[in-house]
Amino acid sequence: MEQTGQVGYEYGPVAAETPDVGAGHRLPGAAAEAWSKVPEVTVLFWVTKILTTGMGETTSDFLGRSLGPVIAGPIGVIGLLLTLRWQFRTDRYSPWAYWSAIVMVSVFGTMAADVVHLAGIPYAVSTVAFALILAGILVAWYASEGTLSIHSIRTRRREKFYWATVLATFALGTATGDLTATSLHLGYFSSGVLFTALFAVPALARMMGLNAVAAFWWAYVLTRPLGASFADWMGVPHSRGGLAWGTGPVSLTLTVLIAALVAFLASRHRAAAAEPAELA
């Protein structure tokens, strides 16, 4: 069992099976989340993830335009560091800590991709660069741990690889979405439809025998341009092909939806964690 040196901070055994709870009983899938630092992959996981991608996109744009990059940038960095610190200090999966970190990774990932573009680097170049960075992280993760499965996030080192991968996927997805919407002139709505179709491909490939880990990360990368494209479409003005609802209102609406979903997930998580005591 790996210990981090922090009092009260210890992960479960990396190679352990889901533990028994009394004679003849095993933790159900939802309760098994407690033994990992990341949530169970369900339909609600994907819905919440896509909403966070859209919220991160429009929130980053709103902060940048309202406060300017000099103020918005530090807000993104500080928010990212604080939520990741919260996530790393938990000893097991916590819905509020996990999804708060995902939201801030989404905001910061958008900012990072936008800064690269403002520096004069075309989206085609930044997309390739972020793809190579993501590939490098995954190669290093696999070389170190022998797996890329999110079900094995039970050590500090694996958690660091996981969040580095997540951050790279958000930056890559942002650059890819902007590439199709602006550089390739598809527009935001058409880009959203395109990435919705592409998002279904890993599921179909999985049914045809694709490795589950590969299918997951393939779909995970695509959630970013999918959610961001539709959020941009709702927020940008008519002159840019959008609905002109405004990035502020869109960000607020998505934040409320995310908070409601996370509250539901947290409630379900608490109920699942209480089941072993009832079974014992």
Per-residue model confidence (pLDDT) at position 112: 87
CB atoms within 10 A of CB 126: 24
Q: Indicate if the pLDDT at residue 17 is higher than 50.
A: no
Q: Binning pLDDT at 50, 70 and 90, where does residue 278 land?
A: low
Q: Indicate if the pLDDT at residue 23 is higher than 90.
A: no
Can you state the percent helix, strand and coil of the chain, rounding each to 5?
75, 0, 25
- For 130-143, the pLDDT digits (tens) are 999 999 999 999 99
Per-residue model confidence (pLDDT) at position 113: 86
Q: Indicate if the pLDDT at residue 276 is higher than 90.
A: no
DSSP state letter for 33: G
b/e burial code for range 39-65 (CB count within 10 A of at least 16 → b): bbbeeeebebbbbbbbbbbbbbbbbbe
Selected residue with higher pLDDT from 112 and 257: 257
Per-residue model confidence (pLDDT) at position 96: 97
Per-residue model confidence (pLDDT) at position 26: 37
On average, the pLDDT of the chain sits at 86
- For 43-59, the pLDDT digits (tens) are 999 999 999 999 999 99
Q: Indicate if the pLDDT at residue 7 is higher than 50.
A: no
250 CB burial (10 A radius; 0-12, 13-18, 19+) = buried
Q: What are phi and psi of 10, to 5 degrees?
A: -150, 130
DSSP state letter for 3: B
Q: Binning pLDDT at 50, 70 and 90, where does residue 114 land?
A: confident
Q: 156-178 and 95-118 are packed helices; what angle lies between their axes, rounded to 10 degrees?
A: 50
Q: Indicate if the pLDDT at residue 209 is higher than 80.
A: yes
225 CB burial (10 A radius; 0-12, 13-18, 19+) = buried
Per-residue model confidence (pLDDT) at position 34: 44
Mean pLDDT value of segment 210-236 = 94
Q: Binning pLDDT at 50, 70 and 90, where does residue 248 land?
A: very high
As a whole-number percent, the residues of the chain with pLDDT over 90 amount to 72
Per-residue model confidence (pLDDT) at position 273: 76
Per-residue model confidence (pLDDT) at position 36: 75
